Amino acid sequence: MTHTLLIIGLGASGSAAAQAALGAGFTVSATARDPSRAAMPGVTIVPFDDAAPAIAAATHLLMTAPPDEALGDPALARHAAAIAAAPRLRWIGYISTTGVYGDRGGAWVDETTPPAPGQPRSQRRLAAEQAWAAVARGRALDLFRTAGIYGAGRSVFDDLRAGTAQRRLAPGHAFGRIHVEDIGRAIIAAAAQMPPPGVRVLHLTDDLPAASADVVTEAARLLGVPPPPEESLADAWPRMSPMARSFWSENRRLRNDITKAALGIAWRYPTYREGLAAILQSETI
């Protein structure tokens, strides 16, 4: 069977998955709200509202867009019936967030840990996971619970150059992150397996949960500039936005052993150090 992948949402993660899929021999299409503003060599762009024929033709479907506060998952709100009836569809991938685990006080979380989201946006993600599980019955569904995404054009280098980088100190606090290229590789490794029907949880997070300040310090070193001054989280808190406060209010460390074993892969960028060095090299080529 020819693998035909439809990606709903061609953002950073969707584009990385599309690139990996093309390299693996998939036929790839993607939806866009405004097809005139979306283009990627080798990828057929289809209007989101008129995606039913592309859904019917797909063997693989990847959902990258977050749920809407009012409508829930946008693809299911518009195309649930078409997805449920798609005759060739065998595999669905849903890009979720590790935020569904909520605050764990810095404890380790693996792919078998029950979710317990504390933030409203993470609660919506868990609801979207459950909605996809209901629609995907009889098919394989991979839930890609994803840590903080970075890559070229979306890294701490940009903040340092803009003078907006901050080095906040929160002892014992660590974040997971994942280079966008590793997201694409992992998704297509999972899709190409054509796993049996059922739900599988996979962690897209690198091998080293690390303090945000450590990442900023390393990026500044690579750029050859002084790092921003240190500031305690307590001192920064009164000036932080509600979104930033929600980000810092949770602390967990993420394992990925089950994911890498299941997919038979190792990360190209196993820590932020390799990822940042590669980004900087790509910017100077």
Q: Is residue 160 part of a domain?
A: no
d(CA 135, CA 130): 9
Number of structural domains found in the chain: 1
145 assigned to some structural domain: yes
Q: What is the pTM of this model?
A: 0.95
The Cα–Cα gap between 206 and 253 comes to 11
Structural domain contains residue 106: yes
Q: What is the pLDDT of residues 61-79, one digit of tens each?
A: 999 999 999 899 999 999 9
What pLDDT is attached to residue 33? Answer: 81
Residue 9 has a pLDDT of 92
Tell me, yes or no, whether 166 lies in a domain.
Answer: no
Q: Decide if 217 is inside a domain.
A: no
Q: Is residue 137 included in any domain, yes or no?
A: yes
pLDDT (0 to 100) of residue 34: 77
Neighbours of 239 (CB within 10 A): 9
Report the CATH number that the domain containing residue 66 is assigned in CATH: 3.40.50.720
pLDDT of residue 217: 97
pLDDT tens profile 241-274? 999 999 899 999 999 999 999 999 999 999 999 9
Question: Percentage of the chain with pLDDT > 70?
Answer: 99
Cα distances (Å, whole numbers) of residue 213 to 32, 102, 134, 172, 241? 36, 22, 41, 12, 18
pLDDT tens-digit map of 108-123: 999 999 999 999 999 9
CB proximity list for 250: less than 8 A, separation 6 or greater = 99, 102, 103, 104, 118, 119
Distance separating alpha carbons of residues 285 and 274, to the nearest angstrom? 17
Confidence of residue 2 (pLDDT cuts 50, 70, 90): confident
Residue 284: is its pLDDT beyond 90?
no
Q: What is the mean pLDDT of the chain?
A: 95
**Residue 120 structural domain:** 4-154+177-206+254-268
Amino acid at 172: G
Using DSSP, state whether 182 is helix, strand or coil.
helix
In a domain, 109, yes or no: yes
**Per-residue pLDDT tens for 120-162?**
999 999 999 999 999 998 999 999 999 999 999 999 999 999 9
d(CA 250, CA 278): 29
Interval 181-191: pLDDT, tens: 999 999 999 99
**Residue 285 — pLDDT band, cuts 50, 70, 90?**
low
Compare 33 and 96 and report the one with higher pLDDT. 96
Question: Could you read off the pLDDT of 34-62 as tens digits, one per residue?
Answer: 777 778 899 999 999 999 999 999 999 99
Say if residues 95 and 144 touch (Cβ distance below 8 Å): yes
| Average pLDDT estimate for 222-241 | 94
In a domain, 211, yes or no: no
d(CA 254, CA 108) in angstroms, rounded, equals 6
**Distance from C-alpha of 256 to C-alpha of 232, rounded to nearest angstrom:** 30
